[in-house]
Amino acid sequence: MNAKRAIDIVVSGVAICFALPIMLLIAIAIKLESRGPVFYGAPRAGKGYRIFNLLKFRTMAQNADQSLKSLQHLNLYGQPQTGAVASNRCTLCQEREPDCTMMITKEGRYVCERVLRDESKNDSAFFKIKDDPRITRVGKFLRNTSLDELPQLINVLKGEMSLVGNRPLPLYEAEKLTTDEAALRFMAPAGITGLWQVTKRGRKGDMSEKERIELDKEYANDHTLKTDIKLIFKTFPALLQKENV
C-alpha cells in the first residue's frame, strides 16, 4: 500500500464518521422536497477508463438524465455552429437539388453527410449548463456548497477514487476522449478534488474545453503526494461557488 492510498483510507474513514449527522440531515431534506432516491449513482470512467458507480446526493428531479438531449443547446462547453451546420443541406447539395446523392436519413432527419460531419466536430466532450432547470432547491444549495459530493468518500474508501485526482467522467464524455493526447488524463487517479476544480471552479465562463483537458493532463504528469497536499489546501476556498453550474 502506497502513501497516497493510506491517506485516502484514513482521511475518508474519519471524514465519513464526522459527516454522518450532516449526511442524515441532507437525506431528510432531499426526501421532503421531492420524490426519488436520496443518492444518485451513475457509471463513471476513472483511472485507466475503469468504470465504477459514482455516488452523490441527488440534486435533480427524477429522470433528469432523460432530458439531457433536449438541453444540449445550452451546453457551456458547446461551440457555436456556423455555415453549413445551420441548414440540413450544404452548398453542394443545394446546387445538385433534387439529384443530390449526399442526403441521408438519420434519427428521423433528412440531412447532408457533410452537415453531419461538421456538426460532429462541434460536439463537446463535456456537458454543463448554467441555471440547470433540472436542479431542485435543495440540490442547488448542495451543489453550491459541494455537500452533494460527500457520498464520494465511500468511493474513496472502496478504492474506486482518491481524494485528489481528475474528475471521473460520464461514459458519454469519456468515449470522446480516446485520442492519445486526451487519454493522458485517464492515467491519473479519479478524485473528488483536483487541479481543475481549484483553478477554475465557479468561473466556468472563463474556461474552454481544451483548457480543462490541459489541466487534467498537467495533473496526470505530476500527481505526487506533495502536489496532492497542496491541492487539498487550495480546495477549501474553492468550495463555495458563485455560479450555478
- Residue 101 has, within 13 A of its CA and on its CB side, a CA count of 0
Establish if 243 belongs to a structural domain: no
pLDDT tens digits in sequence order for the chain, 245 residues long? 788 999 999 999 999 999 999 999 999 999 999 888 999 888 999 999 999 999 999 998 876 555 455 555 455 555 544 443 445 555 556 555 555 554 544 445 556 655 555 555 445 555 566 667 778 899 999 988 889 999 999 999 999 999 999 999 988 788 878 777 788 899 999 999 988 888 865 454 566 778 888 899 999 998 889 999 999 888 877 665 555 44
Q: What is the pLDDT of residue 178?
A: 75
37 & 155 share domain? yes
162 & 228 share domain? yes
Establish if 244 belongs to a structural domain: no
Cell 456538426 belongs to residue: 119
107 & 64 share domain? no
56 & 134 share domain? yes
Residue 217 C-alpha cell reads as: 493532463
100 & 31 share domain? no
Structural domain of 100 = 79-122
Q: Are strands 39-45 and 169-170 parallel, antiparallel or unpaired?
A: antiparallel
Q: What is the pLDDT of residue 152?
A: 96
Looking at the structure of the chain, the number of domains it has is: 2
152 & 232 share domain? yes
